[in-house]
Structure 1
Amino acid sequence: MQSTITYPVSFQGVGLHSGRPAQLTIRPASAGAGITFRRVDILDAPNEIPALWHLVEHSPLCTRLVSATGLSIMTVEHVMAALVGCGIHNALVDVDGPEVPILDGSAAPFVCRILANGLHRMAEPVTALRILRTVEVNRGAAWACLTPHDSLQIEFGIEFEDAAIGVQKKTLTMSNGSFVRELSNCRTFCRKRDVDQMRANGLALGGTLENAVVVDGDKVLSPGGLRHADEAVRHKMLDALGDLGLAGRPILGHYQGLRAGHALTNELLRAVFAERENYDLIECNAQTTALLPGAGVHWGEIPQVA
């Protein structure tokens, strides 16, 4: 059955790229509503932006949604991953500015509050998007594809010159609670030599060593080091789950990404929806629901963030 959050939960922080203070509140929504962002700082014009793939506008290093009227909200990927990974299908996400707060750079703060709050199960069944045939996209050395699979499986590979990251690969199925245990506390990362360039381009103005993993060659500069030896590829998988959540329905398929990022995952969704033969929409029964993202999560299970 479909789910929403039981009670509103709020978060305060700064935007990773804007550096501006930001407050976000996740509120319950009715069955079939899906996930919608609402810019509560906008009072004299339409202020809602559905969390859907066709409203993504290219922006460096994050996922940015833009409404038909030009209203935008950026860096939505971590809260989207938390909602999808906890099995929430309907929610209204209020934000008081143009960017979601980065918090600690992972999805764990969102997940902790969602799990502590609990979910409200609804009477209406979930409709899932089942991939029927292979769809792939590439851009230079980056590549991503979706192939048929009984559940949502995410496979990712990254390659960096910095020894602190290096070559990392990982595959996880999202239907057994693995997102909460294995991915949710993995932070965004960057190389020290990229920080100045990003800031010169007006990005990462709110980034610190406390809300991102910064590496320099074989060194991890962030206090406390890594939460997982392969935290970097795990975070890329977290991002992919959040971006795939913009399909508007849980996906049953095998996602593979190599050096992929937000833009390429969105390009992949656009390719899927470009041809009706690529997918089917199915009403989930109990057996199928057990294979969806968020299934198998124990609501008292809080990820470690230290």
Structure 2
Amino acid sequence: MSNRFIGARQTTLAREIQLTGTGVHSGAPVSLTLHPAEADTGLRFLVTKRGRVIAEIAAHVANVKNLTLCTVIGDEAGTTVSTVEHLLAALRGLGIDNLYIEIDSKEVPIMDGSSADYVEAIDRVGIRELSEPRKYIKVLKSVRAEENGCWGELHPHTGFRMDVEIDFESPVIGRQRLQYEMSPGIFRHEIARARTFGFMSDVEKLWKAGLALGADLSNTVAIGEGRVMNPGGLRYPQEFVRHKMLDAVGDLALAGMPLLGAYRSYRGGHRLNSMVLQALFADASNWSVVQVPRTRTTRAPMPVATSGIAIAAE
């Protein structure tokens, strides 16, 4: 067995991935290409038009432009990419640090409403380890955000722990809570296949607003008449809270690096997840950048702080 600390080095894809799908809100076709990238690139969206790159947008909370129904990032010129959370969840969940995400639309394809298709595509090509040490955002102080009875918190922790609770009036969902010490294995087997969900009663309102034009039973768990309307039912026990955890993994990927911290939320969503990250970065004493030594002798070392490193939105 290798004595090198697992996760010590940055990663990217072993080779390029091409995917196609439909935007859940726009209903428009989307082509997506995931390109391997060198160390310290981070996760970056390359928006194309007629084959030419018109914008490069770093996946960072400083670039969030909208949080209505999905997470939207953009640049100062007004170019945006929406519904980024399921793809980012797959990348962060499987431990991919560096990638160029080329997209010819304003919306990441919904695929089957979860991260499963992205995970399967990544597993087919594999992940390549790079030579540079992995860097983390380490939570040094607890931070909290709350709004309308919903709240979220980040606390210091040696790994990446998720504790997500939802509470819906609908008896089909009700109150559900799930806790995991997150790892690629946990994400792949317990979280990745959980689909987005919605109520049939909301569909007409969304259509009138020009949203959910690509939503159907192939990519959304639909709740109506006091039951799940999808013929196959649910994929997991507590699929609803699992999907909320999936969304949170994707939204927290906008920290720009993997987090070392424990996340707890109650009745959260995209807006609250973003608010917690904003609270973290509001004070430089709340966090630091750390990296793991490349080798060890008898046991795995803890991440060590690196001086003079700060996070900047690009």
Q: What amino acid does structure 1 have at the position aligned with 2:71?
A: T
Q: 2:116 aligns with which of 85, 108, 116?
A: 108
User: How has the CA–CA distance of structure 1 residues 106 and 252 changed in structure 2, closer, same or farther, with 3 Å as cutoff?
Assistant: same
Q: 1:12 aligns with which of 1, 13, 20?
A: 20
- The reply to whether residue 75 of structure 1 matches residue 92 of structure 2 is no
Q: 2:42 aligns with which of 34, 44, 52?
A: 34
The CA distance in 1 between the partners of 2:192 and 2:302, in whole Å, is 21
Q: 2:273 aligns with which of 248, 265, 281?
A: 265
Gaps of 5+ in 2: 1-8, 304-314
User: How has the CA–CA distance of structure 1 residues 171 and 217 changed in structure 2, closer, same or farther, with 3 Å as cutoff?
Assistant: farther
TM-score norm. by structure 1 comes to 0.91
1:135 matched to which residue of 2?
143
The CA distance in 1 between the partners of 2:301 and 2:34, in whole Å, is 27
1:284 matched to which residue of 2?
292
1:173 matched to which residue of 2?
181
2:98 matched to which residue of 1?
90
The CA distance in 2 between the partners of 1:190 and 1:46, in whole Å, is 33
2:192 matched to which residue of 1?
184
Deviations 1:146-197 (A, max 9, x none): 0011111111111112222111100011136201110000000011111111
SS of equivalent residue, structure 2 residue 128 = strand
What's the offset of the Cα at 1:38?
A: 0.9
User: How has the CA–CA distance of structure 1 residues 288 and 163 changed in structure 2, closer, same or farther, with 3 Å as cutoff?
Assistant: farther
1:247 matched to which residue of 2?
255
The CA distance in 1 between the partners of 2:49 and 2:119, in whole Å, is 25
What's the offset of the Cα at 1:39?
A: 1.0
2:93–2:184: 8 Å Cα contact kept in structure 1? no
2:160 matched to which residue of 1?
152
The CA distance in 2 between the partners of 1:217 and 1:168, in whole Å, is 20
Larger relative strand fraction: 2
The CA distance in 2 between the partners of 1:167 and 1:283, in whole Å, is 38
2:25–2:213: 8 Å Cα contact kept in structure 1? yes
The CA distance in 2 between the partners of 1:177 and 1:43, in whole Å, is 36
The CA distance in 1 between the partners of 2:70 and 2:270, in whole Å, is 6
The CA distance in 2 between the partners of 1:58 and 1:288, in whole Å, is 39
Q: 2:229 aligns with which of 201, 214, 221?
A: 221
User: How has the CA–CA distance of structure 1 residues 203 and 141 changed in structure 2, closer, same or farther, with 3 Å as cutoff?
Assistant: same
Q: What amino acid does structure 1 have at the position aligned with 2:149?
A: A
The CA distance in 1 between the partners of 2:108 and 2:115, in whole Å, is 12
TM-score norm. by structure 2 comes to 0.89
Identity of aligned residues (%): 39
Structure 1 residue runs of 4 or more that deviate by more than 3 Å after TM superposition: 42-46, 285-290
Deviations 1:25-76 (A, max 9, x none): 1110111100001112266774111111100012311000011221100000
Report the aligned-residue RMSD. Answer: 1.6
Q: What amino acid does structure 2 have at the position aligned with 1:118?
A: G
Give the count of matched residue pairs.
290
What's the offset of the Cα at 1:218?
A: 3.0
